[in-house]
Amino acid sequence: MSERAPTSVLSDGTIRRLVESGRIKIDPWDPALVQPASVDLRLGDSFRVFHNHRASAIDLRDPPSHLTEEVRVSGDEPFVIHPGEFALGRTEEWVELPEDIVARIEGKALALDTHVPTPEGWKLMGEIEVGDEVFDHAGRPTTVLATTEPMLERPCRQLTFSDGETIVADLSHQWEVRTKTDRSRHLPPRVVTTADIERTLRSGREYNHHVALAEPVHYPERDLPIPPYVLGVWLGDGTSTKAEITSADDQILRELEREGCRVAVSAGRYARNGSLSSRLRNARLLGNKHIPREYMQASVTQRQALLAGLMDTDGYVDKLGRCELTTTSLRLADQYRELIASLGFKPRVARKTAWWNGKDCGPKWEVCFTPDRPVFRLSRKLERQKTGGRFNLSRGVVGVEPVESVPVRCIQVASPRGVFLVTRSFIPTHNSSLGRLGLIVHATAGFCDPGWKGTLTLELANLTRVPIRLYHKLPIAQLSFMTLDAPAERPYGHAELGSHYQGQVDATASRYGQ
């Protein structure tokens, strides 16, 4: 009886067994290229460049011939793909599949319900489309160039970060990290997979992998009805149902006047202001304290002013520079955390018990962070804030746990490093290592049908402003395998099918219409 692969995506051990038994053929075969649920494929020596001047248009009813020309490299000679150029390449490996297994070339993926910040607001990973903008590691908008369809049955892990944030990703998803060795030797970041992090989570007593904090996210400037600093002060020390702010600090009152609010002091109270009252009412804030979405997604300067108003009133800083905001509202605690993270800091929320004169008054939440930049306007607090020395500007990965497989998806962005931000903690992650260099790689056919024999033709596009040199046997793609519920009745190469590309060896131009 022939060996049958189990249903679902094939694991590394199953891939090795099926290749060694001859059910799957990959030639040349290198077991070192096997990943947890896929095999890395390398770039071949055959390329096809396009001569667009040979056709004024491509008519799919009568496709032109001789539109491409083959280029072959040898030894250490590079193939150069120029800015904006599109070319075809092929894999070094010849692949053969049996009649009950399909293969897919795909990228690295995150769960579809992962939150992704965009200049237009929050979206889920499953909602991102080509042409959308997301944010890169510097907090600047970057365009989404490509997306994959949702991928099923991928082995998934939940990563937990030192600030409590969690992300579900597949084992092949890549992260830009600095390991303990990198940190001790002051080396630049390296790219590792989820599987790599899981395998080397700790180095001695330390968590090995740290992900750098993103820079402040650059949402657009907003036309806001209430000055952000004023709103922050009212949220911190204001009467929930009135346009009143309880404050005994003259500097805060002067800051309010500087922001255009008329201040009258009576027993340390900023008197009711009819204009502010109407604006609070129109924003549905009276009796309903929260940060409106347009303030959460305002410019960096506007969000800094909002945070300063909150910190001047409800904020605290100790002699070590550790800051915290305290609230009895879980909704506000979540918003404080998002606001602080959007400014490039690393907040952590802790649930505590609020006490007053020895009486349990219910839960409160402390949002703690150590900023490396000023977050106060109030002089007496600003003087206590730490301004020099070393700051921890990264998050450690403190856990990698197996979870049930969920639909996942990956996107490709225009950022030269390929980095984009995810979750409401604005954690940097990225697409493939080639994508971060501006090289976009796609297979001409995402699926390899059962019965396939041949090398795989790849689409290569240079999105940068400089040439990219590609070398023979460079790792270029990733092939995963899945089983069918039954052998295909007409596998690829069957006499009743066209199977135009069966047995292809070199980079192959389109045979559409043949």
Give the pLDDT confidence score for residue 27 in this predicted structure: 95
Residues in the chain: 514
Sign of CA dihedral 502, 484, 173, 132: positive
* Helix 250-258 vs helix 300-314: crossing angle, to nearest 10: 160
pLDDT bin (cut points 50, 70, 90) of residue 2 is very low
Count CA within 13 A, CB hemisphere, residue 323. 30
Share of the chain above pLDDT 90, in %: 47
Give the pLDDT confidence score for residue 446 in this predicted structure: 61
Give the containing element (helix H, strand E) for 378: none
Query: Under DSSP, is residue 50 helix (H, G, I), strand (E, B) or coil?
Result: strand
Apex 162 CA angle, 156 and 163, nearest 5: 105
Share of the chain above pLDDT 70, in %: 87
Contacts of residue 101, defined as CB under 8 A and 6 or more positions apart, other chains included, come to 5, 10, 18, 23, 24, 450, 481, 482, 483, 484
Instruction: Give 301's DSSP letter.
Output: H
pLDDT digits (tens, 9 = 90+) for 144-186: 877 777 877 788 999 999 999 999 998 888 898 999 999 999 9
- CA separation for the pair 78, 187 (Å, rounded): 28
Structure tokens at 131: 């042409």
Using the predicted structure, report yes or no on whether residue 200 has a pLDDT greater than 90.
yes
Q: What's CA 420's distance to the chain center, in Å?
A: 4
**Spatial CA neighbour of 280 closest among 292, 271, 270:** 292
pLDDT bin (cut points 50, 70, 90) of residue 234 is very high
pLDDT bin (cut points 50, 70, 90) of residue 11 is confident
The residue extents of the domains of the chain are 12-107+435-483, 110-213+393-430, 228-382
Name the least confident of 348-352, 443-447, 501-505: 443-447
Contacts of residue 258, defined as CB under 8 A and 6 or more positions apart, other chains included, come to none
Distances (CA, A) of 315 to 225, 321, 338, 387: 24, 12, 16, 17
Give the pLDDT confidence score for residue 435 in this predicted structure: 47
Where residue 8 falls (left for φ over 0; alpha for ψ -120 to 50; beta otherwise) is left
Highest mean pLDDT among 7-21, 162-176, 211-225, 310-324: 211-225
Distances (CA, A) of 437 to 190, 239, 419, 472, 479: 14, 53, 10, 17, 21
| CATH assignment, 12-107+435-483 | 2.70.40.10
Q: Are strands 439-443 and 457-462 parallel, antiparallel or unpaired?
A: antiparallel
Burial class (CB in 10 A: 0-12, 13-18, 19+), 73: middle
**Spatial CA neighbour of 105 closest among 475, 462, 501:** 475
**Spatial CA neighbour of 291 closest among 324, 331, 327, 326:** 331
- CA separation for the pair 123, 121 (Å, rounded): 7
Distances (CA, A) of 89 to 69, 76, 441: 12, 16, 10
Give the pLDDT confidence score for residue 34 in this predicted structure: 86
Contacts of residue 289, defined as CB under 8 A and 6 or more positions apart, other chains included, come to 235, 238, 240, 329, 332
pLDDT digits (tens, 9 = 90+) for 362-387: 899 999 999 999 999 999 999 999 87
Amino acid at 171: L
| CATH assignment, 110-213+393-430 | 2.170.16.10
Sign of CA dihedral 51, 53, 55, 60: positive
- Side by side, the strands of the sheet bearing 86-90 are 68-72, 46-50, 86-90, 457-462, 439-443
Residues 195-198: contacts with CB within 8 Å, 24+ apart? 195/35, 195/36, 195/171, 197/159, 197/397, 197/400, 198/157, 198/171, 198/400
- CA separation for the pair 67, 61 (Å, rounded): 15
pLDDT, the chain, mean: 85
pLDDT bin (cut points 50, 70, 90) of residue 8 is low
Which tops the pLDDT comparison, 43 or 335?
335
**Spatial CA neighbour of 470 closest among 46, 80, 86:** 80
pLDDT digits (tens, 9 = 90+) for 235-285: 998 888 888 887 768 899 889 889 887 766 554 444 445 578 888 988 999
Helix/strand/coil percentages in the chain, nearest 5: 20, 35, 50
Q: Is the distance from CB of 354 to CB of 345 less than 8 angstroms?
A: no
Highest mean pLDDT among 415-419, 424-428, 455-459, 489-493: 424-428
Apex 383 CA angle, 378 and 387, nearest 5: 115
Query: Under DSSP, is residue 252 helix (H, G, I), strand (E, B) or coil?
Result: helix
pLDDT digits (tens, 9 = 90+) for 18-34: 999 999 999 999 998 88
Q: What's CA 105's distance to the chain center, in Å?
A: 20
Count CA within 13 A, CB hemisphere, residue 157. 24
Q: Where are the alpha helices (DSSP H) in 106-245?
A: 180-185, 194-199, 228-237
pLDDT digits (tens, 9 = 90+) for 393-402: 999 999 999 9
User: What fold, for 228-382?
Assistant: Endonuclease I-creI (3.10.28)
The residues pairing with 133 across neighbouring beta strands, listed in sequence order, are: 143
**Spatial CA neighbour of 480 closest among 3, 6, 5, 12:** 12
